[in-house]
Amino acid sequence: QQQQQGAGKSSTTTSTADAKPKAAATDAAAAAPAKKETRQAEESKIVQTKTHKFVFAPEGAHVAVREVASDWQGAVFGTTAREDFTGMHVWAAGLIASRWFLEHASLFDGKSVLELGAGCGLPGLAVYRYTKAQKVLLTDFFKHTVDNLKHNVDLNLQLEGSAENSRELAVAQVDWKTAATFPQPAHSFDVVLGCDLVYDAKLVPALVSVIKHALHPDGTMLYVFGDSRDGATDFIDAMGKAGFKCDMTSPAPDEYKRNPLLDGDDAELRLHFNELEDNTFSLATFKIDKAQEKRRAEIEAVVRQHNEAKAASAAAAVATAPGNNENETVKSS
């Protein structure tokens, strides 16, 4: 809940004299029944915003990203895409990812790039601002998150030198569990990006499904995750079973944690992104295992031929069965 209310948060100092009354108040609050939200998550109101300016390249160009906080008092993670508030805030993994992606900027030259679970969109926006990617599509689902993504796209297109008609920067609403929302056409993205996408193992099958749909057979999936995230290992295992090879770098280089704020304010960095120092991050690169894919195709071909032969044999048996011969003469009594 603290992270959900993170935009614009401030620190306070409590005196020793205040400690006991505050503790008593806290005990009373804990004893009282928790307030229950009666609204739908999408009916919540945005009550606070905070815009960060990040710089990831020595020439000084920057990425502007707004995060938002709402008056929602229910669960932050929710149980469906329509209730997932996590994308309303910039997470530390996005800072790590932006450094990593830009270190391999040539990978994006002329490419079509998709970011899944983009949240505020920092990594995808950094790719757009600092590389020669031809197309960057930022996706999420929760209404407030998608609206904020659109705001951040407009914000960065307005930055000097970023509004280029020859390249595309767009937003789409994608629910991993609903194939009808998947980006089209299938297999059209050269690079798929993701940061801390899995916090529950139950999300893994849906995530793998949308990646398989979107990624070109020769494409690359780049994924950054904090090692404390639940479901991260499940995701890597599931990608392997789905035919992907994984190259892992863990932990991420310490230099990826250096302060990327345009004003270099270390106190501001610790205030909003304390997880950056407190967590260990890993970098994973996924590509389709062509050898495994070939073996799978060969096995599928053998199974298909077997089934076709079996079906043909069954059809022949039916055709030659008594009473099914067209040339058989039926005698009348």
pLDDT at 7: 40
Structure tokens at 238: 């599931």
Beta bridge partners of 135: 112, 168
Q: List the pLDDT tens digit at each of the 333 positions of the chain.
A: 333 433 433 333 333 333 333 333 334 333 444 456 666 767 788 889 999 999 998 776 899 999 998 876 766 555 555 556 577 889 999 999 999 999 999 999 999 999 999 999 999 999 999 999 999 999 999 999 999 999 999 999 988 565 556 899 999 999 999 999 999 999 999 999 999 998 888 899 999 999 999 999 999 999 999 987 778 899 999 999 999 999 999 999 999 999 999 999 999 999 999 999 989 999 999 999 876 666 666 666 667 777 887 788 888 878 777 766 555 544 444
pLDDT at 232: 87
CB of 167 closer than 8 Å to CB of 128:
yes
Token pair 């205030």 in the structure block, residue: 271
pLDDT at 145: 94
Strand 63-70 relative to strand 46-54, pairing: antiparallel
Strand 215-226 relative to strand 281-288, pairing: antiparallel
Question: Which of 195, 17, 235 has its CA nearest to residue 97?
Answer: 195
Q: How far apart are CA 195 and CA 15, in angstroms?
A: 39
- What are the residues whose beta carbons fall under 8 Å from the beta carbon of 114, sequence distance 6 or more? 137, 139, 183, 189, 191, 192, 193, 214
